[in-house]
Structures are given as structure tokens and as C-alpha cells.
A = this chain, B = another copy of it.
Amino acid sequence: MKFKNFPMVPRVIFGRGCFSQLQEILMPRRKNSEAPFIFLVDDVFESNQELISKIPLLFGDKIIFIPTDEEPKTEQVDVLVSKIREYTTQSPSGIVGIGGGTVMDLAKAVAIMLTSNGKAEEYQGWDLVTREAIYHVGIPTISGTGAEVSRTTVLTGPEKKLGINSDFTPFDQVVLDPELTNGVPRDQWFYTGMDCYIHCVESLNGTYLNAFSQSYGEKAEDLCDEVFYNGKLSKEETQDKLMMASWHGGMSIAYSQVGVAHAMSYGLSYLLGTKHGLGNCIVFNHLEEFYPEGVAKFKKMQERHEIELPKGLCANLSEEEFETMINVSMGMDPLWENAVGKNWKDTITRVKLRNLYEKM
């Protein structure tokens, strides 16, 4: 197809406190009492009784806590799928992800792999999934990744960091409850929010852009400005607006792509395990050449929120390690093409990337 026929999340609920409606939402989706819901929950909530008690467990439903100090891995998906298959003889009624980008991506990938054969790594790429996923629900507890609305699930595999991009990836239901973002640590709030801001800068300055993606990207950027730049909002408004910024930012990728920051931060994450939001910030901070206005504003937002980015990540890397990062980054063809154009290889050289990485 010349233009992509974009799958949207078919059901969304938004509201402060709407998480408490989860039981009503899931009930009609229960296949029978032998087909449980599996809740994948960020382990940061393991001792949060208030949140855990609101998860509407029935019959054989199960909570699996997910460690999120590392980026999600294809192997982790395979282990989760095996565990769920051992736990229940029937296919589950659904998978519910409650957490940040890592949990969102794992929930989407697990829902896909419960109906697809083989290993998750075999599906990293574009449109390799051929079977419908099981019903899956995304409930973000931090705002910015856009994973709640996107048609990808970014995974680190043995050979590459790359998404499972497919029409079966998007959630069937998203629950947007800004109250769930209470208690996010300040630095993580900033890094993840900046993931959205950086999406927008990359999408709006990309060569793939059309009016559909532009309208979403502009709105997400406006909302990021309100939250991080103008700084005159109440706590509630900040939470509400950042959750919507993430949503629109994710939508803006529909007919667009991310760009240089994502391409290079994939290299960092692959080699060093740097978390996605932080990695984007570290890279973007050095991209004046590509996004002069966006980077200038980003630096001001760092100041305003007194955020100190880690330095010297690449100080002690070996030649081989630099080569690995550069390989991963240069493998992200569509991102570079969106950022620089079809002839991106004329200007984006290994030496150029090496010089940039050395600054980080």
C-alpha cells in the first residue's frame, strides 16, 4: 500500500480515577472461568497496596511483577509466554500491562507471542506477525513513551534492538488514568516526558511527515511546552496534559518516524543497557546540528527542572564496543531516512557517529 492503513486503539477511557473501572471493562472480555487475565505489573508497585488492591482479580487471574531496571528483551518475552502457558491450559482471556514503556512493550509482545509460533526475536521487524494477538490492555503509569498507542513493541534481541511492528501490536483497550502517575520520581518523569518531546521534534522535522502526523505531533509538542517549559500548571493539570502529550506523540508516528536521537540511543541501549528515555536525552543533548531549535529548548527545560544528565557513558569503551554501537545505530535505516533523507549515507558516516558517541 502506498499509504498505510493505520490501526488505532479501538477503545480508550480517560479520567482521573478511571482505573477503578477496570473490572467493568474486563468483565465482558472474560471467555470463561478457566481463562484467566494475566496482569503484568511494574515491580515498583509490588508493595503498593492501594494500586494492587484495585486490580480486579477473579477466578485464576494472576499478577506477574516485572522488573523494569532494564530494557525489555525478546528472551524475557519468551520466558513470560512459557510461564503463562504452564500456568493455564486455556488461552488467557487477556493480558493487562500496568506500568511504563517496558511493561507496555512486554504486554504487547506477550499477547502476540501467545498466538504465534517460535521465538519473539523471529518477529522483530515490519509486518512479520500473521496471527491475531490475544486481547490486550495497556495502562500506563508514567507518561511520554507513546507505547500505549503505537503499533510497535521495541525489544532487545540477541542480534538487534528492534520493534515488532505489526497491525496486531496495538492494544485493544487503553486506560488513561493520570492519577496513576502520582509518585513517579522527578528525574524519570523528566526523561520519559522528554521521550515524547523528542519524538515530536524528530517527527515534525522528518521527511516522512504529512498533515495527519503533523497535527498530532504539534499538539503533543504544545502540551510538552505547557508542562515542561511554561510551568504554570497545577500538579493535576501537569499529569493530565502530559498523559495526553504522550498519546498524541505516539499517534504522530503513524505516518512518520523518529530520527537521529532514537537511532543513536538504540546503540547506547543495546550495548550499555541505557534506559530508553534517559538514552534519548543523553543523545539529543548533542544534536544541535540536526535539531537546533529543539535542542536549545531541551537545554532550557533541563535547567528549569534542574536535571543533570549523566556524563562520560562512552569514556572507557573499546574499539569493538564503539563499532557495535555504530552498527546498531546505522542499521536503523527508516529513522535515518526520515531524519536526513534518502541519501543519508552520504552524510551519516561511521566517523561522524563515533565523534558524537565520544561526547556522551
Give Cα A212 to B237, complex, Å: 11
Does A178 interact with chain B (Cβ within 8 Å)? yes
Task: Check A311 for interface membership: any CB of B closer than 8 A.
Answer: no
Structural contact, B215 and A223, CB atoms closer than 8 A: yes
Using Cβ atoms and an 8 Å threshold, which residues of chain B touch A215?
219, 223, 241, 244, 248
Given contacts A10-B10, A215-B248, A223-B215, contact A240 B210 (CB under 8 A): yes
Chain B residue numbers with a CB within 8 Å of A219 are 215-216, 218-219, 222, 248
Kindly identify, within residues 8 to 34 of chain A, every residue whose CB is under 8 Å from any CB belonging to chain B. 8-15, 17-18, 21, 24-25
Look across to chain B and name the residue whose beta carbon is closest to the beta carbon of A9.
B8
Q: How far is the CB of A27 from chain B (nearest CB, A)?
A: 12
Write the chain B residue with the least CB distance to A14: B212
How distant is A149 from chain B, measured CB to nearest CB, in Å?
10
Q: Are B15 and A6 in contact (CB under 8 A)?
A: no
Cβ contact of A211, chosen from B2, B14, B212, B218, cutoff 8 A: B14
- What residues of chain B lie closer than 8 Å to A21, measured between beta carbons? 1-3, 5
- Whether A258 sits at the interface, judged by CB under 8 Å, is no
Shortest CB-to-CB span from A225 to chain B, Å, is: 12
Instruction: Using known A-B contacts A211-B237, A219-B219, determine if residue A12 contacts B1 with beta carbons closer than 8 Å.
Output: no
A215 to chain B, nearest CB (A): 4
Q: Are A8 and B10 in contact (CB under 8 A)?
A: yes
Among B4, B7, B25, B241, the residue within 8 A (CB) of A5 is B25
Cβ contacts A109-122/B at 8 Å (1 or 0 each):
00000000000000
Are B24 and A13 interface neighbours, CB within 8 A? no
A176: interface (CB < 8 Å)? yes
A255 at the interface (CB under 8 A from B): yes
- A293 to B18 alpha-carbon distance, docked (Å): 33
Pairwise interchain contact A14-B210, C-beta atoms closer than 8 A? yes
Please give, as numbers and ranges, the residues of chain B lying within 8 Å of A12 by CB-CB distance.
5-6, 8
Q: List 15 A-B contacts (CB under 8 A).
A: A2-B15, A3-B13, A3-B18, A4-B13, A5-B11, A5-B25, A8-B12, A176-B212, A210-B240, A211-B240, A211-B241, A212-B244, A215-B219, A218-B219, A219-B248
* Chain A residues packing against B (C-beta within 8 Å): 1-15, 17-18, 21, 24-25, 173, 176, 178, 210-212, 215-216, 218-219, 222-223, 237, 240-241, 243-244, 248, 255
